[in-house]
Structures are given as C-alpha cells and as structure tokens.
Amino acid sequence: MARFVEEKLGRLDWAYNWPLWKIKQGNDKNSYLNVIRTWFHQAGEDVNPEDIADHIEQMIVERPGRWR
C-alpha cells in the first residue's frame, strides 16, 4: 500500500492529496475504488479497495503533521 500512496498520492503531501485525488477520479466512491482495485490488480495483488481507502483515511487521522 505504501507504493500506491507514494506513486498515486505523492510521498510528501499524500494526506493533502488524498481528497483531491478522489475528486479527480470523479469523487464517486465506485470510481476511485475501481482505480485502486485496478492499480493493485496490475501489480499482481488482489485487494479489497475499500480496505485500502479506509486505511488511508485512518492514517490521516492517526498521523497528524506534515510528514505523518
């Protein structure tokens, strides 16, 4: 998951970029979940994209500050 965050959201500003990235995908939950699912599938991993999105949301809450 760290690779997804780094490559899709950005290494330093991933927490700030997360809501912007979701909007860019259409801000429809199914749209950005499909992007997550596809990205991991192409990497050879079968994941539940909702779990990934929830984990990112939780990291934002649990890791305040610029570097998180």
Mean pLDDT of the chain: 90
pTM of this structure: 0.86
Q: Indicate the SS3 state at residue 68.
A: coil
Write the pLDDT tens digit of every residue in 41-67: 999 999 999 999 999 999 998 876 665
Cα-based torsion angle of the residue sequence 33, 35, 40, 44 in order, rounded to the nearest 10 degrees: 120
CA 21 to chain centre: 8
Q: Indicate the SS3 state at residue 44.
A: coil
Q: What percent of the chain has pLDDT over 70?
A: 91
1, 52 contact by CB (below 8 A): yes
Q: Where are the alpha helices (DSSP H) in 1-68?
A: 2-4, 14-24, 29-42, 49-62
Token couple for 18:
């997360």
